[in-house]
Structure 1
């Protein structure tokens, strides 16, 4: 061996050591705060690393890892596809096979919606569903068809949009949990809810007719709410007036009857006195409004003795009495 030469075995040893070091270093990997790492041993699930930082696992082929972003919100489009055009604008293509659905009252409706979801369990997401995007899209379409099948077309087009979104999200989450998909559905957002394009004009006519019907019904309700209380008030007023008149007539009749009984009782106690009193009261009532004049026929003078008792009693009425006085004198 020549002086200063290195034995070949040492080179081999250094090479082996370098390969081993490189091999061991290949087991290092870095996990970001928004990521989880799923570690498998000979292809079987071993553990999930959730803490961020520099991590290490036994290099391949013993162990391997797959990094999954668990905070990124993913998006699935159902019923349409958006695309970018040449002038940097976005376009939309309708997919009728996905968007046309049957409502609870057997009408067809065209629905486009978006599902926003994220990964909640990285291991289940990797091992339990083969094609996550396609699975979530199929589940979303199935859940929406079921909810729409329980909803009439009129509420679906107007006030029930929020209820449809909430019910679809809950149904999707239950289905994905049954699959153990490791997915959390954040939002189901309706983009378009319309009748099918070929019948949209006829549907709008129906909508206008329904709005007119509703307007007329509201007007009729307003008229009824106005006229019925008024009629009830009038009837109550008439009833109260009738009750008052009834009370008045009954009380007057009772008073007259009581007065007659009193007179009759007095008459039975003193017939002559009562008869005379009644005679005098009757004369008083008769003569009270009579035009009374006294003439003395025994007077021998040339003047006619004339005395008007009415003028003596009511001086203010003397202006209207001469004509009646002359008629009496004649």
Structure 2
């Protein structure tokens, strides 16, 4: 009899399974997860619970699915209030597995769910009412922090992520041993009475996004083209500006150089005029060339020897009939008319 009793303590662990052991009703902290044959004290001394821990289980909130039939809504679970005090229907699926078998079996006293609830969770397992109520609480909290527009259109992924994080936080605080694998929103919609109006709002938001994207694309195309055309205008203008500045600078330098030469040569002309004063030989101080009566003309350099300085006009003191022009000076007519040295014409021709 003892051998038969002891033989009942033999059990097998398959891949993906773990065994939680109890001795005189006290749970052992570390479950057995090595595959193969094992032995533990038979009842009533010991007890073992072999459970699939890698199996991903499913919780439906706001609806119940059926084999080959349409989903059945559960409004009492689905209806929630958004942050802007609108009613919204949310249906969600939670997938979970077991990460701590000892906590899963022995830390939570859950009433479970019978077959009438379509889940058939045995009492004492936290994925019964505990998981369902925690999921509802987490989802209602997250939805209540957002407007209905954000829940319906803009932040679905963020809503799922935040709900998963909040749900895991609640389950860990209860030491359920459950791990939330994923949270997936199946249906998020406004109540049927106002669904048409919300559809219009969502369509308007989508149109806004589309128009914004089109405007951005147009901006990305037009601005580079405008900048290119501007560069095509600015670059020749800059080149023309530089050329004009360089040309003006060159002309200025040339003029200053000529001015310096003119200032130097005008002294020579003054001396010549003084030397030819009274050049008619009559030694009459009242007759001669007055420096104040000489006008100087600068003309282009026709013979490439500098710059031509011409006497514009001369009035001989005391002899009005001897007034003569620059042309007459250069051609020698003045010397014939007034009888003074032709050196004046020679000196005043090219300086």
Asked if TM exceeds 0.5, the reply is yes
The answer to whether residue 265 in structure 2 is matched with residue 261 in structure 1 is no
Q: TM-score, normalised by structure 2?
A: 0.58
Query: What is the Cα deviation at residue 77 of structure 1?
Result: 0.7
Partner of 1:165: 160
Query: What is the Cα deviation at residue 135 of structure 1?
Result: 1.0
Partner of 1:59: 43
Q: Aligned partners of 2:88 and 2:156: how far apart in 1? A: 13
Partner of 1:114: 93
Partner of 1:93: 72
The number of aligned residues is 258
The answer to whether residue 9 in structure 2 is matched with residue 28 in structure 1 is yes
In structure 2, the residue corresponding to 1:130 is in which secondary structure? coil
Contact 2:23 2:41 in 1 (8 A): no
1:49-97 deviations in whole A, cap 9, x for unaligned? 444425342433x44443433232211111211123xxxx132122233
1:148-185 deviations in whole A, cap 9, x for unaligned? 44556556555744444334333322322222112222
Partner of 1:77: 60
Contact 2:6 2:41 in 1 (8 A): no
Partner of 2:202: 207
Q: TM-score, normalised by structure 1?
A: 0.61
In structure 2, the residue corresponding to 1:91 is in which secondary structure? strand
Within 5 Å, give how 1:1-330 maps onto structure 2. 24=5, 27-28=8-9, 30-33=11-14, 34-46=16-28, 48-51=31-34, 52-53=36-37, 55-60=39-44, 62-84=45-67, 89-103=68-82, 108-131=87-110, 132=126, 133-151=128-146, 156-157=151-152, 160-225=155-220, 226-227=222-223, 229=227, 233=231, 236-237=234-235, 240=238, 243-244=241-242, 247=245, 250-251=248-249, 254-255=252-253, 257-258=255-256, 261-262=259-260, 264-265=262-263, 267-271=265-269, 278=299
In structure 2, the residue corresponding to 1:240 is in which secondary structure? helix
Partner of 1:319: none
In structure 2, do the counterparts of structure 1 residues 200 and 246 end up closer, same or farther at CA, with 3 Å as the change threshold? farther
Q: Aligned partners of 1:100 and 1:245: how far apart in 2? A: 79
Contact 1:31 1:37 in 2 (8 A): no
1:13-47 deviations in whole A, cap 9, x for unaligned? xxxxx6x676x258435334144333434433356
In structure 2, the residue corresponding to 1:59 is in which secondary structure? coil
In structure 2, do the counterparts of structure 1 residues 210 and 185 end up closer, same or farther at CA, with 3 Å as the change threshold? closer
Where structure 2 has 5 or more consecutive residues not aligned to the other structure, the ranges are: 111-125, 274-294, 303-351
Query: What is the Cα deviation at residue 235 of structure 1?
Result: 7.5
In structure 1, the residue corresponding to 2:108 is in which secondary structure? coil
Contact 2:13 2:50 in 1 (8 A): no
In structure 2, do the counterparts of structure 1 residues 53 and 159 end up closer, same or farther at CA, with 3 Å as the change threshold? farther
Cα RMSD (Å): 4.0
Q: Aligned partners of 1:159 and 1:122: how far apart in 2? A: 38
In structure 2, the residue corresponding to 1:115 is in which secondary structure? strand
